[in-house]
Structure 1
């Protein structure tokens, strides 16, 4: 038995927020073990992936959809720009907006790493959740998180 398993969690074991956080940490550990060598965090890749599907999306809309604070989104976009992964453009009709698009290097990065990003958990899920359980959990999390379209 794992030493930390001896710690009595009390009501924490029934807390949805606590369970979600512990699950998130587990997923992130798996992500970094599988994809850490690419120097990107899950949220960062999510932004690039959305831009691959939504060229010329407004920076604010991407931030809102992913629930990223404006200041943090600005830092991330600057980082992507410095790495040559995205292009920023201010449209003539709204000087306050910033449109984002992947560069060819950004498109190649997403294309080269999407399979790993979306598939890393398959091996980690083995033995923990059946395919049906994973589908059910994802459906419930999407519903709870307001992600159902």
Structure 2
């Protein structure tokens, strides 16, 4: 019987059989690395990545309602309702009845929500600058354009 090599030794010998040539695989690997770093950033300020996204959208669109947010995020209403409830508990957002249609609630950032979003955005922009350092001039715009084109083709 042959002794097994430690996992770390065998990782470098793995044959990826073309996986690294697939756009989907390499995109997912890049997204995973970025997301791990992004999660550290948002945890530092007491948010999840999803909460940061919601705060960003609410901050940029004061009065947006949950139906619109659910559509933008591709979430069902119950999942979004839990996230909204958590943001309210943290006093980061508030809801007010919409004047035009009293059946819906308009979402707004609180003062604390504005401050937390501003701080988190600064940290996220620092991460973006770190990513820019590994790209040549012009590659950022090219990369984003290519990713948008692929996304649009599969939506």
TM-score, structure 2 length as denominator? 0.78
Taking the aligned partners of 2:9 and 2:140, their CA distance within structure 1 comes to: 25
2:69 paired residue number: 62
Tell me the equivalent position of 2:149.
143
What is residue 118 of structure 1 aligned with on the other side?
Answer: 125
- Judging changes above 3 Å, is the alpha-carbon distance between structure 1 residues 47 and 77 closer, same or farther for their aligned structure 2 residues? same
CA contact (8 A) 1:30 1:124 kept: no
* Distance of aligned partners of 1:20 and 1:72 in 2 relative to their CA distance in 1, 3 Å threshold: farther
Note if 1:20 corresponds to 2:35.
Answer: no
Q: How many residues align?
A: 145
- Greater relative CO, 1 or 2 (CA 8 Å, sep 6+): 1
User: TM-score normalized by structure 1?
Assistant: 0.81
- Structure 1 CA distance, aligned partners of 2:121 and 2:43? 14
Output one character per residue of 1:41-94: Cα deviation in whole Å (capped at 9) or x when no partner. 222211101111100001121221122332221111010000000012333654
Q: 1:40 aligns with which of 41, 47, 53?
A: 47
After alignment, is 45-54 or 62-71 more displaced? 62-71
Unaligned stretches of 5+ in structure 2? 1-7
For 2:129 and 2:80, how far apart are their aligned partners in 1?
29
**Which structure has the greater CA radius of gyration?**
2
Change over 3 Å in CA distance of 1:35–1:74 after alignment to 2: closer
Sort the Cα spacing of 1:76 and 1:18 in 2 relative to 1 into closer, same or farther, 3 A. same
Unaligned 5+ segments in structure 1 are none
